[in-house]
Copies of this chain bind each other. A is one copy, B any other.
Amino acid sequence: MSHPVTSQPSPDTVRIFDTTLRDGEQSPGATLTSEEKLEVARALARLGVDVIEAGFPCASPDDFEAVKAIAESVGAAPVEGRASSEPPIICGLARASENDIRAAYDAVKVAKRPRIHVFLATSPIHREHKLRMTKEQVVERLVRMVSYAKSLCDDIEFSPEDAGRTEPEFLYRAVEAAIEAGATTINIPDTVGYTLPEEFGALIAGILANVPNIGRAIVSVHCHNDLGLATANTLAGIRNGARQAEVTINGIGERAGNTALEEIVMALRTREPVFKLRTNIDTTQLTRTSKLVSVRTGMVVQPNKAVVGANAFAHESGIHQDGMLKNQETYEIMRPEAVGAGQTLLVLGKHSGRHAFAVRLRELGHSLQGEGLDAAFARFKVLADKKKRITDADLEALAASEFGRGREYFQLDAVQVTCGSNGMPTATVRLRCPDGEIRTHAAIGTGPVHAVFRAVDEIVQAPAELLEYSINNVTEGIDALGHASVRVRAAGDDGRVNPQRGASQAPILHGHAADSDVIVASTKAYLVALNRVLANMHASERSASSPTAAAAPQKAVS
């Protein structure tokens, strides 16, 4: 009980609770390294989010450490570039078990404003099939677990999972009991993305009208996009009294994802006269944060994505006739500047120094240091020799390539390829191996990338299967950097417990890299992915041998 009770927000402010690092990171293949999570957390703090759900600490020892690192470096002191001097609340998710709650608290407690988020399903289908508990048992457990969490931490959020399909009367009873036990935020999830806006709005209104002690908690909404209604449902919840929205950048998340932060923030802002509500988000950072999350998670943003898609404001480009200025007013409801779109600045050239480079990277939200910075700067100089104009997009690609690679078991020493329409694509790859040896292998393939990957496979021998491979030219112009992204599925188990399903899964891991040569970028990206497969195997082994951090199996929870 060492932390003060979190101050209640003013009634005209909607708290933005970002779960990109928890629910978003559960997307297949969106797995991030601890370094990448920290980078995203810093960007979220600068963006102005009120609460960062940093992870599910009980998923694995690595997840625990990642949440702790975020609590220490983003949650404990003012964050450079954040409008508020108050750091964001750092939240850890926990199932309704002492083990989970203790782990969550231990991970977030170093933050200035820690929060534990406890959840337990309340719907009939979950009670019967997943929990095998009666209503009474559900209430008893949630009271016991929220009370336990409250004994550790003042700021407690409780979620009745699958609230949208729970009997209203039982939902009111469960919520009331959770508040009585100490919950200060009640989050209402539409777990399966099933409800319609009128229904979800009515659900929130019903809770506010029928739970006697609801005035002691903030009501939160958490929607999924399976029917394309996450934004509308979230706004319906807010109009009916919710004052916290749980969202992710770009709407990433399992299946069709979560509510997109940028859509909620811009809808509230654009229709402020209707909602009469505000958020603490610096909207001019939306585009930049969207790009960062897209590159880090490998989850592309479609061009027709609302607010942050490449075409969101594209009706402005390429128009060269008179009279377009007045037409802009007639067809535009947001200015691109409001979300920080289209601000590609030419800032650096071949004579720019290391300091200028580091400063600009930091302004763009990348906190490279030490060896990472050295390597990125070396690559910047090489690129500046080849390419006249170094844009912010180039810098983003350089930083993305150098950042968060995790441990490099195998390192690229050299790659060489010959290919073309006459067949026989041939690749030679030379790698530095974990034992310090240099090994070289040549292979042919159906194409140059296939040849490279085969040569790499011969040396690395990792148990992984390629799922997806893409190259994007992330910057404008024909001499741009190529950005390669690779997604592989590893054999076996990811050693991470999924908070809802309990089960761990065959891990899907991605790698990305940028280079002016797409074949080199592809080789590096593939190595990043394979190195993650190897790191994951080792983490999995550690996890199995560590009783305290090993997550409780599903049965212990239910």
Inter-chain contact B331/A448, CB cutoff 8 Å: no
Given A267-B228, A304-B252, A515-B447, A478:B466 Cβ within 8 A: yes
Q: Is the CB of A321 within 8 A of B446?
A: no
A312 adjacent to B256 (CB under 8 Å): yes
Contact B505–A319 (Cβ < 8 Å):
yes
Known: A387-B446, A419-B519. A28 touches B311 (CB 8 A): yes
Contact flag A304-B257 (CB < 8 Å), given A321-B503, A333-B193: yes
Residues of chain B lying within 8 A (CB to CB) of residue A520: 419-421, 447
Residue A135 at the chain B interface, CB threshold 8 Å: no
| Bound CA span A480–B129, Å | 41
- In the complex, are the beta carbons of B125 and A329 less than 8 A apart? yes
- Whether B448 and A518, one on each chain, are in contact in the complex, defined by CB atoms closer than 8 angstroms, is yes
Does residue A14 face the partner (Cβ distance < 8 Å to B)?
no
Is B414 in contact with A422, judged by CB distance below 8 angstroms?
A: yes
Known A194-B271, A421-B517; further 6 A-B contacts with Cβ < 8 A:
A129-B330, A130-B326, A193-B306, A250-B302, A256-B309, A471-B471
User: Given A417-B419, A425-B517, A469-B473, A28–B326 Cβ distance below 8 Å?
Assistant: no
Which of A330, A386, A467, A479 counts the most chain B CB atoms within 10 A? A330
Residue of B nearest to A264 (CB): B228
Min C-beta distance of A381 to chain B, whole Å: 14
Which one of A100-108, A145-153, A229-237, A342-350 is at the interface? A229-237
Q: Within the assembled complex, what's the spacing in Å between the Cα atoms of A307 and B229?
A: 12
Which of B270, B304, B506 meets A27, CB within 8 Å? B304
Q: Is A184 an interface residue (CB 8 A)?
A: no
Residues of B within 8 Å of A5, CB to CB, are none
The answer to whether A196 touches B299, judged by C-beta atoms less than 8 angstroms apart, is no
Q: How far is the CA of A454 from the CA of B479 in the complex (A)?
A: 9
- Is A202's CB within 8 Å of the partner chain B? no
Taking a contact as CB atoms under 8 Å apart, the answer to whether A226 and B256 are in contact is no
Q: Which residues of B contact A311 (CB under 8 A)?
A: 27-28, 254-257
Contact of A302 among B126, B299, B416 (CB under 8 A): B299
How far is A192 from B239 in the complex, measured between Cα atoms in Å? 22
A465 vs B479: C-alpha distance when bound (angstroms)? 11
Q: Mark each residue of chain A from 408 to 432: 1 if its CB lies under 8 Å from any CB of chain B, else 0.
A: 0000101111111110010010000
Asked if A144 is at the interface of the complex by the 8 Å CB criterion, the answer is: no
A469 to B473, CA, bound (A): 5
Say whether A324 contacts B517, CB under 8 Å.
Answer: no
Alpha-carbon separation in the docked complex, A476 to B323 (Å): 49
Interchain nearest-CB distance for A44 vs B (Å)? 18
Query: Which residues of the other chain, B, contact A28 by a CB distance below 8 angstroms?
Result: 303, 311, 314-315, 317-318
Q: Which of B130, B226, B312 contacts A255 (CB 8 A)?
A: B312
- B447 near A517 (CB under 8 angstroms)? yes
Closest Cβ of chain B: how far from A397's Cβ, in Å?
13
Which residues of A, 447-505, contact B by the 8 Å Cβ criterion? Answer: 447-450, 453-454, 457, 465-473, 476-480, 482, 489, 493, 500-505
C-alpha spacing A239/B197, complex, angstroms: 12
A407 proximity list for chain B (CB < 8 A): none
**CB–CB B333/A260 < 8 A:** no
Contact A446 B506 (CB under 8 A): no
Question: Are B228 and A263 closer than 8 Å at their CB atoms?
Answer: yes
- Compute how far the CA of A554 lies from the CA of B330 in the bound complex, rounded to whole angstroms: 15
Q: A2 — which chain B residues lie within 8 A by C-beta? A: none
Digitize A518-533: 1 where CB-to-B-CB distance is under 8 Å, 0 elsewhere.
1110010000000000
> Contact at B518–A518, with CB atoms within 8 Å?
yes
Give Cα A501–Cα B399 distance, bound, in whole angstroms: 40
Give A453 to B478 CA distance when docked, in angstroms: 8
Residue of B nearest to A236 (CB): B197
Give the residue of B232, B257, B333, B454 whose beta carbon is less than 8 angstroms from that of A197. Answer: B232
Is A244 in contact with chain B by the CB < 8 A criterion?
no
Q: With A267-B228, A417-B420 known to touch, is A256 a contact of B304 (CB < 8 Å)?
A: yes
Complex A-B: 15 CB contacts under 8 Å:
A28-B315, A125-B330, A130-B330, A193-B306, A226-B306, A228-B230, A228-B306, A232-B232, A254-B314, A320-B505, A387-B446, A417-B420, A421-B520, A446-B516, A518-B518
